[in-house]
Amino acid sequence: MNQKQRSYLPKSKRENDRPDAENIVCGRNPVMEALRGNRTIDKLMVAKGEKEGSLLRILADAKQRGIPVLETARAKLESLAGGAGHQGVVAFVTPFTYSTIEQMFQDAANRQEAPLLLVLDGVTDPHNLGAIIRTANAVGVHGILLPKRNACSLTATVLKAAAGACEYVRIARITNVTDAIEDLKRRNVWIYGADGESEQTLHQTDWTGPCAIVLGDEGKGISRLVLEHCDFRVRIPMKGQIGSLNVSVAGAVLLYEVLRQREVPR
């Protein structure tokens, strides 16, 4: 591929008890990662009589750090979790601190790596968003750009699906996807839109330079306007009868091809 060289160059809601609040973390592994992370934990709520396995370690860590622990009925935890599997524990934490694009680029520079970013265009399913964040951490993505409107926010379900990865992946909230893409272009980043109609496949694409992958809505894909702002469109080869992949699976396939090429440059 002929590519020109490009060089590198809001706080969430207040605490509340709604199931979609960004200050609620559910599930044992996400809570353990929250304990290891940078966010302050105001209190833990555990199911009455639930004191076994990994929950014992969580309770020991909470005691060591002086975090209040309240026993409550499982029905209360289920209400707080809003459908996310709580596994007998819910943590109330300080709201998620969103990052800036500048911080993402600084992380890439510190790691001496070409920036690798994800831009999400209308991903609304919390399980998909959580899975995307988890994969992003696994492959070393420097940041995720998440729209403020018409997209899923960091709910308890997202945090549970991400299995603690939200504590380690930089996420920025953006007002407008196309404006954010143009900002990345000015920073010499190539923009790749995941598009099943493209002739170019992910294996024919050079992912070793600064790049951002755009993933679209689970049903409609990337919006027409956003797709027009992408430098390149790439597809994942499909041989079966199903015409598309789940967006989180598609994102994982694309990201692992990026990782493969960067680990063993072509």
pLDDT in tens, 16-29: 444 446 688 888 88
Handedness of CA 237, 239, 244, 247 (dihedral sign): negative
Residue 265, pLDDT score: 59
Please, where in the chain does CATH 3.40.1280.10 lie? 101-263
- What confidence tens digit (pLDDT) does each residue in 190-220 have? 999 999 889 999 999 999 999 999 999 877 8
The fourth-level CATH superfamily of domain 24-93 is Ribosomal protein L30/S12 (3.30.1330.30)
The sign of the dihedral angle between the CA atoms of 67, 69, 74, 76 is negative
Residue 95's closest CA among 174, 18, 28?
Answer: 18
Mean residue pLDDT of the chain comes to 86
pLDDT tens per residue across span 28-78: 888 888 888 767 888 998 888 777 778 888 888 888 888 899 888 888 888
**Residue 152 pLDDT grade (very low, low, confident, very high; cuts 50, 70, 90):** confident
State yes or no: pLDDT of 100 exceeds 80: yes
For the chain, where do the domains classified as CATH 3.30.1330.30 start and end? 24-93
**Of 3.40.1280.10, 3.30.565.10, 3.40.50.970, 3.40.50.720, which CATH number belongs to 101-263?**
3.40.1280.10
